[in-house]
Structure 1
């Protein structure tokens, strides 16, 4: 165990958080002023400070629905930019995104098939853009992608139905790259909480190193997950229910408990969940930090999901404007570095550490849902 803890605390991890761009490297490829007679850019040029911070500590975005959108388009061009999506490559670069979770869309009538199709699509899209994207399965992969100037793509979250109530299917999806599962909407993770099989799902997720997402989970499920899981849990797209009553937003008690357990609340850029203005998103971020500390809050774009977005956060290119707002509110560079990159990286590493430790104690679970 000591060796495993040494690996978790290795200097490379600190280097991931503190890595800085070369002084000779521009902070961003942000908007370029239009020449006379040309149409103006859609995004206002932010102050240099946010772009400089994002060059050193890019955004690890907790939720993007791009795979489902691409699945429905007859043609698209992510490299040159595409008006059909909110997260094409030019805008990802302009907004300072360094990693993104791409959420598979799962058809409840064919959950396993559609999950496999979406994983295949994600893998192929990333492979088609090797100079810009890199598929990541671990914290080391995300750090390596960033070091080589690529945007890391992690697969997930998928709804719990994707596993089809089968731990073997869960393990197979993990082997194909799925890294986050949302624990809601099944008989074993319901309003009544976790069944015995549900608890075994949590233990198996700990063993293989899959992140547990509590977005939309019932209070009973969330409480039991935090009691059973040895790894931190996350909310991939939940704001504060105290500020906005959306059903997927988290109550203060859950946010505080996540902070105590090393977990993470990724605040979405969603008008329905936060409010109609950029300042509303900043209010939710402030609220989570006040409840759980700066180590417990991150960002979740929820772009390409069909959600309306707050004014000032129309797409991923607008992250610098949000950073500028937080700077005006007194956020330090150290806390902003945790918000954008460090907290996601820590949770990934912690989940991987728990997985390595757990595999020393137990093999693959053979539990079935029949025992409930």
Structure 2
């Protein structure tokens, strides 16, 4: 147990002396110009990420910031795993900011808590205009990248955030929501999607809100893959064959997800993938082998209350993961898909599906009592 703890990243608030005051010796800025035998892959990783930055599938920053009385992400914030200096060092170009809720919130309380987080995200982005930009489309993500900003996408949110109302879904979409996790609602359970759940999914397709299936039951996943016209996300799912976590996907579902052109975003957490960067790379190898290079992505899952391998302790450490994949023989084409292109493809396909659906389908007026009552 002690060995395991030594390998995990201890959050700063538990051990404030974990990081030295001077620049870290493994920092890109702090390294001497001459490369050692193991440094060439890291230099290549930085060069590749400069061209193909990371689109991070999950950040718990909104909820983490709620507990801070004051913060400045531009100067650097030691109380969280994510700030603008570390995002820049890690070559992060876009990330989904989770609007997930604590367990047990339902109904009006869940809707209100989600709106509070939306308001907080907009305030944070507005207060950091030199580093962050809110984005809702692929075009806006590209504009943010071209301007040297990190694109912030809203979502995933919890299914409980809807309060079983398609009108609330449309309102959240109008406020910027782009992904919804299909768990924690009566219409998306272990038994699969109900009739109302299928109507929610169709309305999500019409709006351009992507379905996040991390943590969903196998029946729900298979039904979503059958009904959805847009590709789906698993924002925090690795390979269950390598680590038996309930949010990780068994091999047969990874194959089905790949066939449907969905995207499995592997979390960089010790709990789901393992305690070293090599463990995370093993999961990426496994998902790529089963689902295909076009169906695997990255999910930092920073600031979500989970431990990370020490080599991947915060949002600045993506080059170390890419360097490990380069040592394993990943091509630059596959790495570009992993870090940036796969996310852009899924978002673009979701936008195309929404435009087509809006031409032939009016907003749904279905009620849960009418379909599932």
Asked if 1:59 corresponds to 2:54, the answer is yes
Q: Name the SS for the 2:72 alignment partner.
A: coil
Q: d(CA) in 2 for partners of 1:324 and 1:134? A: 28
Aligned length: 336
Which residue of structure 2 aligns with residue 95 of structure 1? 90
Deviation at 1:258, TM superposition (A): 1.3
Q: 1:41 aligns with which of 17, 24, 39?
A: 24
Asked if 1:144 corresponds to 2:139, the answer is no
Q: Name the SS for the 2:310 alignment partner.
A: coil
Q: 1:75 aligns with which of 67, 70, 74?
A: 70
| TM-score using structure 2 length | 0.88
Structure 1 residues 315-335: Cα deviation after superposition (integer angstroms, max 9, x where no partner): 011100000000000001111
Unaligned runs of 5+ in 2: 1-19, 29-38
Asked if 1:165 corresponds to 2:150, the answer is no
Which residue of structure 2 aligns with residue 256 of structure 1? 255
8 Å Cα contact 1:234/1:258 also seen in 2? no
Cα RMSD after superposing both structures: 1.3
Structure 1 residues 37-96: Cα deviation after superposition (integer angstroms, max 9, x where no partner): 973516454632111111100000000000011111011111111110101000000000
**CA separation of 1:38/1:72 partners in 2, compared to 1, >3 Å: closer, same or farther?**
closer
Which residue of structure 2 aligns with residue 287 of structure 1? 286
Q: Name the SS for the 2:199 alignment partner.
A: helix
Q: d(CA) in 2 for partners of 1:39 and 1:341? A: 32
Unaligned runs of 5+ in 1: 1-36
**CA separation of 1:142/1:38 partners in 2, compared to 1, >3 Å: closer, same or farther?**
closer
Structure 1 residues 236-266: Cα deviation after superposition (integer angstroms, max 9, x where no partner): 0111101000111111111111111111000
| TM-score using structure 1 length | 0.89
Structure 1 residues 119-172: Cα deviation after superposition (integer angstroms, max 9, x where no partner): 000011001111111000011111111111110000100110011111000010
Q: Name the SS for the 1:360 alignment partner.
A: helix
Q: Name the SS for the 1:156 alignment partner.
A: strand
User: Hey, which bits of structure 1, 4+ residues long, moved more than 4 A?
Assistant: none
Which residue of structure 1 aligns with residue 15 of structure 2? none
